Structure 1
């Protein structure tokens, strides 16, 4: 992306479309509302730079609907949005009073929701300084093609560009903003599960729908980025992606972000998970995996903010984070001030750890290999290593155990190879379960045989080691632990301690005892929550989670039911 002749490209564009390179004077009325594939202008940027501001998911449901009738609805966060040359958010609702509910037959019945709002919503965003809106998400088509067309029309009426939807290939057309000698192309696409079979969820020839980045459709998005970059434009991509309530990026997110950056994207941002994710650098491109909720109808995931990125003719040069919290009374984002602001910024920066992104422009990134696993018998050499964890009198013979080597992510987002020993009955299924954790981006601090800690469970937990087989008794009892049968695994013991009336093991896990662990609780790397990826992955093979126990809570523990 170095050495782009942006000024020359701008002059060529002016020769083709003279009016496109002329900024209106302050006394002139704004041009007709921009839509997909359109071009708009802003006053020249200072020193040949352009500043962009990004917010996350926007809804006007529940008490957030009050903002529709309130002057200056978004409040003081608008100052941050207006300070940028261009501001962009994801509108997670159609703007319509027409159409019929799309059946969403591909979504789980219990997860089907339909939303819509009034045209005043677009006015609230415009008044707050929002210039571009992504409508490529899993709610834009809630009321079918009619509702989506109404949404695009509302944007044109109010002068807010809507990207990520259109008729056929036009769904991938960028909205181009000219700022001085710079051109910025804004694109958007939806990468989460398709909710219905209708065309509205993935634009097809002659049919209106959203731009898709699912599977092979991602090639269309990458091609659109390449085309914009070839026109010497700065390129921004807003992707609706990730897993709900998971702050670390999935493997597919990481690979798509890398492909988009390689294709010429200067900024890649996204939302959908409802929690803040990490941000950093993929080469010369800024990537922010999760911007969280922004204007929302509840404050259960209250952390939010505005990502600001400054670019020049060579691409992105710096980024900053303005933290905010969602108001529980009206759903708008309220900037964090005072001493709390530094802590909120530090929290956002810390989320970069599990992304694999570089902390600095052009810095080294973690690699993204495909998941790999192997299952082998316990040979003589390994048996010698395991002489502390397996001994005469154990309830399982060595011939019935298997040694697993598996790829996992550490807390810095790097791919590691770990090892576990489990019963042969569960070996392949356990390897598949950890494959799902890897694909979901769930981090594992370390994964070593418990023998590396002298088969001492306390030492292994203190090292935050994820371990399997260990021929030991249940703590304080004479019965064998499920670990002694190779039918249990402890995951990230520090983040997921064993809690009893008598204490907490390991002691380093005390800060994690009182945290919320319901599925929609604030995400923390490596923490296991109810319905979370580890719980679901092991439930698929019939294993149970110790965090669901009544008298004690063994949050690290997943195991086969006794007798199986």
Structure 2
């Protein structure tokens, strides 16, 4: 295929044969409004429909470099890509042997990586059926403007279209494909923090760079979507966005997806987090928040797949998922078979819950209000309500406690108002910490005073309640718990149980007792991992996480150290 934007060149419209091929033979109709999920009998598209296929991040580093010298390097996943009328991925590496490393002075010094690959990478993708790549990401500029220029030239030479880069405004130009009577405009932009101050990380007038969806730049992307929709084109937007290793969407992702859908986008997909995110419907638009890694140099986050979306002249009509796993041998995505296939599909479908997206076409996206919090003293009515959790003899008087009302996301991605009681010393800082959880999209099942559960810690944990103050002793000891001082909070106790040699509390948390909790472990909604946003948000306050304890693990527990 041709190129949509080469240093300011106008978009090209290419003619393809009308859609006559069937989608993968392992697609079946699912529940809901014309939605489908991989796993059964074939569903043949109509004569006026087209199918698009999307994969996540692609690298050819390390062991994945072996694919560059192997015919048919991507293997059997290519069947799913080739079946689609147009297939698209995110090329997360410059295709260059020239240029110099960009200093990336805006990135954490301990977290800077530079990647590049040979032109054979584009050949491998083209051979597998990939037609369009996004280069709007945080590695496109690893070797400066020269490396980005070489990347665009490699795509042009090998007939793979690139989007998301160009000179100035041309970086936002769509690549337009004509399939029968339908035209599809493909756009891309980078929404994560820029890694360097150089122009390559955000195209400006007369300078080569990537398209940005950060801050006010998002308006330019939305304008391009509106313009393409006004031309009666179907519109696809591939966004590099999200928080690393976080499956649920951030607040900024949700707001951008809403704006793109309202502007006329029919499909909004994205990657960057390295883990699969949820997919669903924002009105008539398909939104997928995280396609994960696709071709990758390690298999620590092995879950991947291909999202296929079928469209007609009115927009998206259904989606399907072909699950795969990244090979630990060579980094290619291998389709999942047998019983593991059903489990992978169920997992993918379950990830929709925390997105706020609708399960069915035409459903509305959940509201996305700004984070709000309030801090107030304990008045007479609240003191009466707290008569179980605060009694005579407690180490902290009521006058030193504060009642917090906080916005949080539930496990369905909907904004809720919760409440906590903490010590006045920590009240505003705790409110700020939960604001960071909200912005990151970290879900909290419920947040009610422990008095709603008779101040019984076991009942509160069993209800998966996130709670703060409770005048109680440490289990099995005479010393006061940090909760009795309003200096501790338990977050999602079911997903983050208290694990000791004696057992697991709450009992409903047993399936989560042994899940990996390192930062790059597979993401599960509501699960707290090392370095995860709940840990980092409270570490900033000087608090400690019970998951770091040695003799036992209290994964739900964050608390101020004793003496503070």
Distance, in Å, in 1 between the alignment partners of 2:392 and 2:2 is 82
Partner of 1:525: 525
Describe the superposition over 1:191-218 as per-residue Cα deviations: whole angstroms up to 9, x where unpaired: 0001000000000000000000001110
Do the aligned partners of 2:135 and 2:164 also contact (CA within 8 Å) in 1? yes
Q: Could you tell me how far 1:341 is from its partner in structure 2? A: 1.3
Distance, in Å, in 1 between the alignment partners of 2:542 and 2:217 is 34
Q: Could you tell me how far 1:339 is from its partner in structure 2? A: 2.2
- Paired residue secondary structure (1:405): strand
Distance, in Å, in 2 between the alignment partners of 1:453 and 1:443 is 21
Do the aligned partners of 2:2 and 2:14 also contact (CA within 8 Å) in 1? no
Partner of 1:309: 309
Q: Could you tell me how far 1:41 is from its partner in structure 2? A: 2.1
Do the aligned partners of 1:34 and 1:40 also contact (CA within 8 Å) in 2? no
Partner of 1:18: none
Describe the superposition over 1:74-101 as per-residue Cα deviations: whole angstroms up to 9, x where unpaired: 0000000000000000000000000000
Q: Could you tell me how far 1:44 is from its partner in structure 2? A: 1.2
Distance, in Å, in 2 between the alignment partners of 1:330 and 1:287 is 30
Distance, in Å, in 1 between the alignment partners of 2:95 and 2:400 is 60
Distance, in Å, in 2 between the alignment partners of 1:308 and 1:417 is 36
Describe the superposition over 1:376-433 as per-residue Cα deviations: whole angstroms up to 9, x where unpaired: 0000000000000000000000000000000000000011000000000000000000
Q: Could you tell me how far 1:365 is from its partner in structure 2? A: 2.5
Do the aligned partners of 1:34 and 1:156 also contact (CA within 8 Å) in 2? no
- Paired residue secondary structure (1:252): helix
Do the aligned partners of 2:258 and 2:365 also contact (CA within 8 Å) in 1? no
Partner of 1:481: 481
- What is the Cα-based RMSD across aligned positions, in Å? 0.8
Q: Could you tell me how far 1:253 is from its partner in structure 2? A: 0.2
Partner of 2:19: 45
Give the total of aligned pairs.
534
* 1:62-461 map, 5 Å: 62-461=62-461
Distance, in Å, in 2 between the alignment partners of 1:481 and 1:188 is 51
Q: Could you tell me how far 1:32 is from its partner in structure 2? A: 6.0
Do the aligned partners of 1:420 and 1:467 also contact (CA within 8 Å) in 2? yes
Q: Could you tell me how far 1:33 is from its partner in structure 2? A: 5.8
Partner of 1:27: none
Do the aligned partners of 2:4 and 2:163 also contact (CA within 8 Å) in 1? no
Distance, in Å, in 1 between the alignment partners of 2:249 and 2:467 is 24
Describe the superposition over 1:238-284 as per-residue Cα deviations: whole angstroms up to 9, x where unpaired: 00000000000000000000000000000000000000000000000
Do the aligned partners of 1:321 and 1:345 also contact (CA within 8 Å) in 2? yes
In structure 2, do the counterparts of structure 1 residues 362 and 33 end up closer, same or farther at CA, with 3 Å as the change threshold?
A: closer
Distance, in Å, in 1 between the alignment partners of 2:158 and 2:126 is 7
Do the aligned partners of 2:5 and 2:166 also contact (CA within 8 Å) in 1? no
Distance, in Å, in 2 between the alignment partners of 1:44 and 1:551 is 64
Distance, in Å, in 1 between the alignment partners of 2:436 and 2:536 is 9
Distance, in Å, in 2 between the alignment partners of 1:364 and 1:142 is 39
Describe the superposition over 1:304-339 as per-residue Cα deviations: whole angstroms up to 9, x where unpaired: 000000000000000000000000000000001122
In structure 2, do the counterparts of structure 1 residues 532 and 32 end up closer, same or farther at CA, with 3 Å as the change threshold?
A: closer
Distance, in Å, in 2 between the alignment partners of 1:532 and 1:262 is 32
State the TM-score, normalized to the length of structure 1.
0.94
Do the aligned partners of 2:2 and 2:161 also contact (CA within 8 Å) in 1? no
Do the aligned partners of 1:35 and 1:156 also contact (CA within 8 Å) in 2? no
Do the aligned partners of 1:33 and 1:157 also contact (CA within 8 Å) in 2? no
Distance, in Å, in 1 between the alignment partners of 2:248 and 2:94 is 28
State the TM-score, normalized to the length of structure 2.
0.94
Do the aligned partners of 1:492 and 1:556 also contact (CA within 8 Å) in 2? yes
